[in-house]
Amino acid sequence: MTVISGKVAFVTGGGSGVGLGQAKALVKAGARVAIADVRQDHLDEAAAHFAAAGTPVLPVKLDITDRAAYAAAADHVEAELGPVQLLFNTAGVSHFGAIQDATPEDWQWQIDVNLFGVINGIQTFLPRMVKREEEGHIINTASMSAFVSLPGCGIYTTTKMAVRGLSECLAMDLKDTRIGVSMLCPGAVNTNIHEALKTRPDHLKATGYYDATPEMMAHLKSVIEHGMEPERLAGYVLKAVEANELYILPYPEFRTPLEDIHASVMAALAKPEDDPEYEARTARGVPGGQKD
């Protein structure tokens, strides 16, 4: 079990949306919180909210794709608040369209933020956590796209399935430590993630997809505005962290699609009795093989 009260938490994407919801929940739970965000206006708005509530947080402007800047941010936060024990790798971006229409820059931007942003957080803070041998927890935000593929979501889905594999392996690697791992897989959340297009770096602007026009922004918002509120989602996250649960899947509407996907996988999977080499492989301890 991970105790949240009194811990120091670092939340990427903490200036708005899912990250801000997590920061609010963490503050209420008694954590000392640093919020990192690439947008200064979001940081300013969030910091003003917490200051007005009498629960100040530490705002940190950070591009999570910049490893050197990440290390400097970690040093700053730990100098101000103390060692970070709760790492929330929450920041993410999205840009949708068919894979055949994608540019290399479409791939690079989402992979840099959604995957390497998570990797950079882990690479920055995990060695510090391991060295201290204290209780800690890493929370990676993936998506239901880590399990369910949809047309037009190829790049986003690639990054989120990668975060799933990373999180599952990380939990295995850390099983004998005091550091827990959880993976949040949201469905629709009422946020402004569609505005992430405004933070896309100039050198990665070339796209085969849509532009950030007012009309497109309004359309994208209409798709998610009836989704779960960020603070409610954060409540599920904190409960899972406290219980040291790997999977955070608070969207029952995905139950049927997931059952269908796993049924198809199991139907396609070869049976032991149909493979004459099965016993020889499992006897030798081949990875994945079952041993009695």
Separation of alpha carbons 282 and 291, rounded Å? 6
Question: What does R_g of the chain's alpha carbons equal in angstroms?
Answer: 20
Catalytic residue among 70, 156, 236, 251: 156
Sign of the CA dihedral with 142 first, then 138, 174, and 236 last:
negative
Helix (H, G, I), strand (E, B) or coil at 193: helix
CA angle 4, 8, 14 (to 5 degrees): 95
| 109 touches 200 (CB < 8 A) | yes
Active site residue 236: no
Q: Which of 109, 146, 132, 219 is nearest to 178 (CA)?
A: 132
Strands in 247-248's sheet, in edge-to-edge order, are: 58-61, 32-37, 8-12, 86-89, 136-141, 179-184, 247-248
Token pair in block for residue 95: 């840009």
Catalytic machinery residues: 156
